Every structure is written in structure tokens, then in C-alpha cells.
Amino acid sequence: MGAMCCKPEVIDFEGEVDLYHFYLLRAVGKGAFGKVRVVQHKQTKNLYALKYINKAKCCKMRAVSNIIQERRLLEEIESPFICNLRYAFQDDENLFMVLDLMLGGDLRFHLDRSGNMKEEVVRFYVAELAIGLDYLHRLQIVHRDLKPDNVLLDEKGHAHITDFNIAVHFAPRRPLTSVAGSMAYMAPEVLAKRGYLHHVDWWSLGVMSYELLFGRRPFRGKTNSALTHSILNDRCVFPENVDSIVSPECIDCVKGMLERDVTKRLGCRNGLEDFKTHPWFAGLDWAAIEAKQITPPFEPDSKRANFDATHELEELLLEDNPLKARRRQQGRDPSTLAPDLRKMEEHFLPFDHLKQKRRSFFKRRADGDFGTASQASQASVAGTLADQPLADMNNNQSNQSIAMNQIGNSMTTGPGPRFRAV
């Protein structure tokens, strides 16, 4: 008598995407309330990174609005220098976002390994990231948390911006005031609470560039108040042997990004054009960079795991409720759910990049473009705020609560306290 086996469940690939559409592979990352693992689409065989967020933990950390906002923002974005959203869905326990898979690891991982990076490598990353940031700014999106941890390399070594958990739309005539980001990378105008726009991303790029080049950040402090004072007041000091490490053009570029005067900061006047015309990038073929036709100066080792292997062990040994595909409970009345759970049901909508067009938050001009980022920052909002993100964007500081999301040691490679507007 032959052995009997269970009949495999039929998967409806034409229906709404869910976890049954994917093979679950190894765990590669873990955040404050979310985890990341590699998955493979069962039909297309494409590999992706699955970011999944436990609903209960999300509610407990008061991060529901941020997660929904991240999901909304990612639906608008598609760039070769960003980890793009491909699918989004939820079950009764988790929210899921399926993103481009980057097998090269993040810059924090590589910085911890090497201590610092060669000038030509950092120049390449700055060029690619400047293109990515300029793209976001033209969509009137400010990332607010650029740091080595949030830059992922693909298997060839190209840089991609990730983690849009505290990214937000900005209205040029309505500066943001909430303190959000990782303190060590925050621009002075954020800490001074004077109001800010997308210019803060160029400062963060400057801090990160300095750190990649010299293995330490330009502004430090043993306490949060000391770090804040340093960012607001201290002069940017380079190592004594800086001339033997990097070129004068490199130093000038980093200084330009770390200019406290926003009107003089590199990137704030003409966006990407400031970088294209800077001497540090002389001779660089920007068209080839944008098309990813230039071979990166550093290629991650494909034979080694470019991430912390302990995530896989934790998933195997410590997880009491391992991730698996589950059918949703049918017939649930959303009105009976707790407010945050209902908000997730109603606003964390499914997305399939093969079936849906990416939507825009703002109505575009007739020619379909804002022009340069600097033109966008000088223009009035080109549409209504009827579809305003759930995170508060108004100027009343009393309406904005500040939550500490992640604490790090500001004297080490850790990024310092991370704040989000809730």
C-alpha cells in the first residue's frame, strides 16, 4: 500500500497577495518591533526581503501611524538607489512588506569589519546616495534617518536607501518641527527646533561620509545633551593626518555637507547639481552612475554572509511563535477591533507591484514633474492635503510627542538615540 500524503494547498496567484505566495527562507535582520527574512515568490521564483511587523508590538510602541506612513510612502517610490516596495499585505498577527533583496549587507556591517573605507569607495556611495536623496526630495519626501545602518548594498556593491519608518512628506511652506531620526546624524536645525525641510538629509549624508572615511563621527558626546551641544556648536575637526588619508576635494565636500547654514550647505542650493559640479566628483560620469553602468569599487564577498548570522539562530531557538502562513479569520467586524488594530486593517492596504500603479501623494504639475529639489522647496504645495500622512506635520510642537525608539552609545559606532514623531 502506497504512502498517503496531504494534498498541497492550491495557491491563487491571481488573487490578493498573501504569505502563501512565498517560500520562507533564512532570517537576516531584526529591529525594534519588526524582523526581516529572505523569501522566494513561489510563482516567479524571485528573491525578496520580507519585513514583518508584529501588530501587538507595533501598538505597544505607538508606532502604528509610522508603519502605515512608511507603507504609503513606499508605494510612491521606485528608484534604482532605494529598496523598493514590491508587495504589501497583512494577516491577523503581522503586517508584511516585501522589498528588493540586498545581499551585500548594510554599510554599518562593513564599517564595523573594516574600521573605515577608502576615499574612492566613499565617493562612489555618496554619488549614488545623492541621486537617491535628490529623487526623494523631488517627490517632496525627506528621509530623516540616513546613516550606515540604513544603506544596503546589493550583491555587486551598489548603494540603496532603506528604512522609511520616519520618512515624511514635507510642504515647502510648512516646515517640519518634530524631532525625528538618530541623534548622532540629526542636523542642527532639527535639534534647535527651528523648523526644517529636506535639507537635513544632506547633513546626515555628511555625517555618514565622515564616519565612513575616518571610522568615527564628527560630533560626539557622552550624554544626549553633550552630543546635542557638539552638533550645535563644535567645529568639524578632521584627523591630524587627514591629508595622507583623503584629498582636499574630499575634505571640502564633507565640510560642505556639514555646513550649519542651510543656505550654504552642499545640496541645499541646487540639489544634485551641487554634487555634479563639486571638484570631488570631477571626471565622474553621472549618467553612467545613474544607469548603474559603473562597476562599484567594492564588491561584497558573495561566499560569506553579509549580515549577522545570530538572527537565524534566534529565529530557530528563541522564537516561540515562528512565522508561517495563516489564513485570516473570516467575518470579523472592524468596528469591534481596538482603534489601532482597526487603523491597520483600514489603512495598511495590500499592494502588488505587478498589478497596481504606484500612486502619487501630491498632484504633479501639468508636465508631471516638480523640477529640481530646490525648485520644489520654493514652490507652493502642488495639491491638497486630503490624503495627508497619519504622522502629524503641523508646526504646533505641543501636538507632537517625541518617543525614543532605539538607544545607542553615542561614543561608539552606534547611531545614538533614535526618535520618531508619533
pLDDT digits (tens, 9 = 90+) for 262-289: 999 999 999 999 999 999 999 999 999 9
Distance CA 141, CA 167 (A): 7
Kindly indicate the confidence band of residue 6, based on its pLDDT and cuts at 50, 70 and 90.
low
% helix / strand / coil in the chain, to the nearest 5? 35, 15, 50
Residue set of the binding site for ATP = 51
145 given a catalytic annotation: yes
pTM above the 0.75 mark? yes
Given this model, what pLDDT does residue 370 score?
42
Given this model, what pLDDT does residue 407 score?
24
Q: Which residue has the higher pLDDT, 191 or 326?
A: 191
Given this model, what pLDDT does residue 306 score?
64
Q: Which residue has the higher pLDDT, 278 or 369?
A: 278
Given this model, what pLDDT does residue 368 score?
39
Average pLDDT, the chain: 83
Q: Which residue has the higher pLDDT, 375 or 201?
A: 201
**Is residue 107 predicted with pLDDT exceeding 90?**
yes
Kindly indicate the confidence band of residue 383, based on its pLDDT and cuts at 50, 70 and 90.
very low
Average pLDDT of span 149-178: 95
**Is residue 152 predicted with pLDDT exceeding 50?**
yes
Given this model, what pLDDT does residue 4 score?
56
Q: Exactly one of 18, 91, 145, 163 is catalytic; which is it?
A: 145
**Is residue 377 predicted with pLDDT exceeding 60?**
no
Query: Within 10 A of 303 (CB to CB), how many other CB atoms are there?
Result: 5
Which span out of 66-80, 332-346, 378-392 was modeled with the highest average pLDDT?
A: 66-80
Kindly indicate the confidence band of residue 378, based on its pLDDT and cuts at 50, 70 and 90.
very low
Residue set of the binding site = 51
**Is residue 65 predicted with pLDDT exceeding 70?**
yes
Distance CA 88, CA 86 (A): 7
- Per-residue pLDDT tens for 231-265? 999 999 999 999 999 999 999 999 999 999 999 99
Kindly indicate the confidence band of residue 361, based on its pLDDT and cuts at 50, 70 and 90.
low
> Any idea how long the chain is?
422
Kindly indicate the confidence band of residue 134, based on its pLDDT and cuts at 50, 70 and 90.
very high
Helix (H) or strand (E) holding 403: strand 402-406
Q: Which residues contact 58 (CB under 8 A, 6 or more apart)?
A: 33, 64, 67, 95, 340, 344
**Is residue 43 predicted with pLDDT exceeding 60?**
yes
- Burial string for 336-361 (b: 16+ CB within 10 Å, else e) reads eeeebbebbeeebeebebeeeeeeeb
Given this model, what pLDDT does residue 266 score?
98
pLDDT-wise least confident of 98-112, 206-220, 292-306: 292-306
Average pLDDT of span 23-36: 83
Cell of 309: 548570522
Distance CA 98, CA 63 (A): 19
Contact 377, 359 (CB under 8 A): no
**Is residue 309 predicted with pLDDT exceeding 60?**
no
**Is residue 187 predicted with pLDDT exceeding 90?**
yes
Helices (H), 247-372: 248-257, 272-276, 286-290, 310-317, 339-347
Given this model, what pLDDT does residue 410 score?
31
pLDDT-wise least confident of 17-21, 44-48, 368-372: 368-372
| Domains (range + CATH), the chain | 19-102+306-352 (3.30.200.20), 107-304+398-421 (1.10.510.10)
Given this model, what pLDDT does residue 285 score?
98
* Percentage with pLDDT > 90 across the chain: 67
